[in-house]
Amino acid sequence: MAALPEELAALIPAYLGGQRWYSGAEAPDPSLVNIDELKELWVADDGTRRLWQAIVSAGPDWYQLLLGERPAGQRAEFLHGRDEAVLGAAANAYFYDATLDSEMAKVLLRVASGGGETATFARQLTAEQSNTSLVYDDRLILKVFRRLHEGRNPDVEVTTALVGAGFEHVATPLISWRDERFDLAFGQEFLAGGTEGWALAVTSLRDLYGSESRSPEEAGGDFAAEAERLGRVTAEMHLALQSVFGSAPAAEAASSWSRLLDGFGPRLEAASAVAGKSLWPDCSLLVDRFGRVREPGAYFRVHGDFHLGQVMRTDNGWRVLDFEGEPARPLHERTAPCSPLKDVSAMLRSFHYAARHVLAEHRVAEWESLLPLAAAWEAHNRRAFMDGYEDVAGIQVLLPERGSVSAVVAAYELDKALYELEYEQAHRPEWVPIPLDALDRIIYGAGSDE
């Protein structure tokens, strides 16, 4: 087995701690870090440059390191001053994150595709949490999994299955790179010219807030037609997911639903405490409303982390990305059957976030006049999304009976908003008003069935 110089192995714990995709808050205890596997993926003909792959365990987690090796003194412009990407120097060479080096990235493509794919240009996409994405010739995107899980990676598994089921609104899978234990990377068609749903929604909102028009239908950048199409695609995705993975038994769905309801009491209490005041003294209407749902509809494998940032508008309509589920949750939870309305609710929450996010670009003094616009935009696009969703043939069979849909949606919105409150409290306190606003609305709107 090839080996890295001793002194480098010692640097790995600190290096891990500096990476975006490392899940812990601080660098792992060196005693818990172990190089499980080390492979020399490539060596240049002249022997001076190498590409290494290391599978490293750090406590219960595994990580994939891709390290480039170049002779000391060779310039490293591709690092663009990103010191945290450098592991260190040893034996007259330096070692660094190979995904930043376009030569190494191209080598990686060849290796990952078993020689089937090559490219002239490679670039790394920025701002990602648990993976590194490389784009080749604006044609192919390779998602390198950094944090590894034993078994199938849900994104690879679900995307491939959806394509098999004839669902066209995903990026076509091209490369699946794995070893005996882990999915290591996933290559798909790069959606050139695509825009995240979030960016489109934000464009629409900026237009509305900046225009003289007082209604979202009349503003130029109306998003409703997109929202409607997105609703359709969401329903088609659910039909395909259900056909591939099948529904959980009704009893399992019922118990999952009641677990959700049972959790609300204590969670709301905790949320009231977080908000620092006595909130929502009476949730009985809400409990009544949820209690009236006799059966919550089919439960099956869903997207699990559905929001405007996970959908891309392309020239040929919407594409759904990233079926990994919420990365913070354990794998078995992410793949557990759930109501498709959980995805629906999550997207509706995303509309709310977008409307409020753009508000933050304006001075607080303007909020009073803009808040009704934000609410109108959200309501308008919620309606369009739901219309598109419920209009797809066959989706009704998977949903609860007609009168209960909005209650189940509200329950999952409540679930999501409570999660958001907790998250924002911990990470972005200035955003706390957004979930609080949502909670207010869900709880006080409980008496009406929209």
Partner 1 sequence: MVSPFFAPQPRWYQTAVFYEILVRGFYDGNGDGTGDLAGITAKLDYLQWLGVDCLWLLPFYQSPLRDGGYDISDFWTILPEYGDLADAVELVEESHKRGIRVIADLVMNHTSDQHPWFLESQSDRTNPKADWYVWNDGDAAYSDARVIFVDTEKSNWTFDSQRGQYYWHRFFSHQPDLNYDNPEVADTMIDVCRYWLDVGLDGFRLDAVPYLFEREGTNCENLAETHEYLRRLRKEVDALYPGRVLLAEANQWPEDVVEYFGKGDECHMCFHFPVMPRMFMAVRREQRYPITEILGRTPEIPDGCQWGIFLRNHDELTLEMVTDEERDYMWEEYAKDPRMKRNIGIGRRLAPLVDNDRRVAELLHALLFSFPGSPVLYYGDEIGMGDNIYLGDRDGVRTPMQWSPDRNAGFSRADFAQLYLPPLMDPVYGYQAVNVEAGVRDPSSLVHWMKRMLEVRRQHPVFGTGTFEVISVENPSVLAYMRSLPERATQEDRGPDTVLCVCNLSRLAQPAELPLQRWEGKVPIELLGRVPFPRIGELPYFVTLAPYGFYWFEIVDPPGSRQ
Q: Give residues in contact with partner 1 (CB under 8 A).
A: 77-78, 80, 102, 120-121, 123, 135, 137-138, 192-196, 199-200, 203, 206-207, 210, 218, 220-222, 225, 313, 315-316
Q: How far is the CB of 193 from partner 1 (least distance, A)?
A: 5
Smaller CB distance to partner 1: residue 33 or 200? 200
Smaller CB distance to partner 1: residue 37 or 137? 137
Smaller CB distance to partner 1: residue 9 or 122? 122
DSSP 115: T
Q: How far is the CB of 207 from partner 1 (least distance, A)?
A: 6
97 and 85 Cβ atoms separated by less than 8 Å: yes
Smaller CB distance to partner 1: residue 181 or 229? 229
CA distance 19 to 195: 27
Q: How far is the CB of 167 from partner 1 (least distance, A)?
A: 21
Q: How far is the CB of 78 from partner 1 (least distance, A)?
A: 7
Burial status of residue 142 (CB atoms within 10 A of its CB: 0-12, 13-18, 19 or more): buried
Q: How far is the CB of 137 from partner 1 (least distance, A)?
A: 8
Structure tokens at 329: 């949750």
Smaller CB distance to partner 1: residue 105 or 144? 105
Q: How far is the CB of 202 from partner 1 (least distance, A)?
A: 9
Smaller CB distance to partner 1: residue 57 or 203? 203
Smaller CB distance to partner 1: residue 29 or 391? 391
CA distance 165 to 178: 23
Q: How far is the CB of 401 from partner 1 (least distance, A)?
A: 30
Long-range contacts of range 139-142, CB-CB < 8 Å, 24 or more positions apart? 139/189, 139/190, 139/192, 140/109, 140/174, 140/175, 140/187, 140/188, 140/189, 140/190, 141/171, 141/187, 141/188, 141/189, 141/190, 141/191, 142/108, 142/109, 142/112, 142/175, 142/185, 142/186, 142/187
Give me the amino acid identity at 383: R
144 and 99 Cβ atoms separated by less than 8 Å: yes
- 20 closest CA partner among 123, 96, 130, 111: 130
- Measured from the Cβ of residue 99, the count of other Cβ atoms closer than 10 Å reads 22
Q: How far is the CB of 423 from partner 1 (least distance, A)?
A: 25
182 and 53 Cβ atoms separated by less than 8 Å: no
292 and 401 Cβ atoms separated by less than 8 Å: no
Q: How far is the CB of 80 from partner 1 (least distance, A)?
A: 7
Smaller CB distance to partner 1: residue 71 or 193? 193
- Residues belonging to the chain: 450
Smaller CB distance to partner 1: residue 130 or 314? 314
CA distance 219 to 290: 36
Place of tokens 């509809």: 297
> What interhelical angle do 284-291 and 250-275 show, nearest 10?
170
Q: How far is the CB of 340 from partner 1 (least distance, A)?
A: 26
Smaller CB distance to partner 1: residue 207 or 437? 207
